Chain A
């Protein structure tokens, strides 16, 4: 995830996510994708070691619906990031039971990789050059950017950031999202501590839009697809990648190859449809992968 250094956001989303726990009508991670558990050929280096070890620890978010979300009382988290994790583990011959999911928040993703507390990080982790100096990042497996969440009734009135003049837009205090819509598009900012509260206000009709990474918005739209919709093209760019310990041999190739096959054989698309796709949005084309250095 990008410049959201504010723990508030994450914890807030965590509590926001509890909404999903109580929402009877299938708050989702959705159905699980069928992942083939078969060790891929040609593994080298750390990837080979992991496959031989037979277990893997993956750092994920547990507080973002649709992306990485663990309902209170559930055994394992669900979401698009989790599905990607399962796909990668499958390619190492590691089944779901041998995956350990660890909660990571924005601030500890790099430290956890450096300390070896996790083998991979799949947590709405944006690829940036700065990060690539300390950890390895392969992918991207999803490209998103700042977008808008609006009520169904407003989707013709507000189609993108240019329609935001004087509109009350809600986002989490401190995120660059809020500052951007105010400074660049003339929106009236309404700051709350969590995205859930923003969505509450949207449903209460006291604000007219919520803005942040499209991936997060889709998660909320997935919980109330009849009323909420994500609109507009992304007006910033975030490329979610898989983090691994820097210079771990064989990892980048392994991750890129596995992601490519998943994209080619439709597993990637299925994973999307089962999670973020529940919002009703059309499944996008999988992104082009970066070259391994």
Chain B
């Protein structure tokens, strides 16, 4: 395991970048996904249209293409966002990190939207009818009746989307982000004899991240259990 001990620092930094990517993109995906879902069920035709169009377009496009679009295309517009939140290596988020994370978040948002929507649709019709019957508005029926019940149904699909996102974060290696996928590639080139070992270790690292999401989801499911 000398490849590990020799490069411990780099590996941990790469892991850190992956975690950062996943957390930031996850938040973006959840927020945007929820907004898109609301748009798709709202009474405003244009909002429904935009929501539908967004999801449709994103779901049929490869994530790598979206990342390339951001990393190579947006600079064509003279936009090159960077975030330097501090001096530590993990806090210097260069333009490629920003682009890749944004792309990941926007991509996953479409899947979160669909997950939330299916959750909302799984609530029995009678609930929504009853809410209308006692005079609740769109906003109120959504907030007080539908969403709390949809929450339970939503957990699994949203967790799936986030798990897929964690695995997809490795695609950022194609646009110059020094995250775990890149680190694995580098280590395999430098230590070709430990190829298999390195692959298994990195695979396990991703599985760990996935396991965390799965655990949190399970905990939330237990708490949201209705009697």
Contacts and interface: CB of A to CB of B under 8 A. Distances in A.
B176 A170 contact: yes
Nearest to B95: A206
B178 A205 contact: no
A168 B94 contact: yes
B96 A206 contact: yes
A206 B186 CA distance: 22
Contacts of A200: 72
A191 interface: yes
A39 interface: no
B176 A201 contact: yes
B76 A204 contact: yes
B80 A6 contact: no
A174 interface: yes
A5 B189 contact: yes
Contacts of B124: none
B200 to A, nearest CB: 20
A6 B189 contact: yes
Nearest to A178: B186
A173 B182 CA distance: 8
Interface string B82-116: 00000000001011100000000000000000000
B155 to A, nearest CB: 37
Contact of A191 (B72, B75, B178): B178
Nearest to A175: B189
Given A200-B72, A204-B75, A206-B96, A191 B176 contact: yes
Nearest to A204: B75
A206 B100 CA distance: 14
Contacts of B190: 174
Contacts of A235: none
**Chain B interface residue number, banded:** 10 to 19
**Chain A interface residue number, banded:** 10 to 19
B49 interface: no
B189 A191 contact: no
B94 A188 contact: yes
Interface string A168-206: 101001100000000000001111110000001100111
Contacts of B189: 5-6, 173-174
A91 to B, nearest CB: 39
B127 interface: no
Interface in B120-177: 174-176
B194 interface: no
A132 to B, nearest CB: 23
A174 B80 CA distance: 26
Given A5-B189, A174-B186, A174-B189, A190 B76 contact: no
26 contacts: A5-B189, A6-B189, A170-B176, A173-B185, A173-B186, A174-B185, A174-B186, A174-B189, A174-B190, A188-B92, A188-B94, A190-B94, A190-B96, A190-B176, A191-B182, A191-B186, A192-B175, A193-B174, A201-B72, A201-B176, A204-B75, A204-B76, A205-B75, A206-B71, A206-B75, A206-B96
Which 9 A-B pairs give the minimum distances between C-beta atoms?
A204-B75, A174-B189, A190-B176, A206-B75, A206-B95, A192-B176, A6-B189, A206-B80, A173-B185
